Amino acid sequence: MLAVRGLFGGLAVFLYFTAISRIPLSNATMLANCYPFFAVLFSAVLIKERPTFGSIMTLLVAFSGMFLILDPHFEKLDIGYVLALTSAVFGGVAVTSIRELRKTDSSWVIVFAQLLGAALVCFFPLTAGLRIPSVREWELLILIGVVGTAGQLTFTRPFKYISAFEGSVVALSTSVFAILFSVLFLEEIMTYQFILGALLIFGSSLYLIAREEGWTVNK
């Protein structure tokens, strides 16, 4: 399972970044973040977790909010769209493996498998087009490494207590924060469309959290 987490997680990240280089960021993010749909499928088949009808409807509401925020425009066919969607498929496998691994392994072990898998997947493409980054690029790369690793640890921990499906839906909040930080630091404009989409995503996440807490208390 650790090998599955490393391989499929590494491939998902690699394909997502490759898709970004070919198609608009909003389109790539929208397709790559479809991984909860595949997490539902793989968790049902592989680890026998079946979401309820209410959970599926919550997922659809969350995706509606994400669509409003990203506002993708699919104008022409490009291999980047296939890569982004394939990233979502691999991401669904990776999330399912996290849920299973959290029964026996720590977040640190699982994240290490992810980082090792990503390093192996990216090794040959890296050597093919190797270029020494500038000082500014090194600063950004280090920031990505630190924040990304912290994010992976935080993302992995809850799967000990919630299903792969529920964790995936809550994780869709990353789209909201990505746009919010772009407004704060890149001087992009916040629209009413963003606010409505954020409310739909956060509302879906809060619903799942409240339902899980209620279930735990009743039990």
How does pLDDT run across 119-177, given as a tens digit for each residue?
888 888 877 777 788 899 999 889 988 988 888 888 888 777 777 767 777 777 777 77
Q: How far is CA 142 from CA 63, 137, 138, 149, in A?
A: 31, 9, 6, 11
What does the domain layout of the chain look like in residue ranges?
A: 2-218
Query: pLDDT at residue 14 above 50?
Result: yes
pTM of the model: 0.73
Q: Which amino acid is at 34?
A: C
* Rounded Cα gap, residues 135 and 141, in angstroms: 10
218: Cα separation from own chain's centroid: 31
For 71, phi and psi rounded to 5 degrees? 45, 60
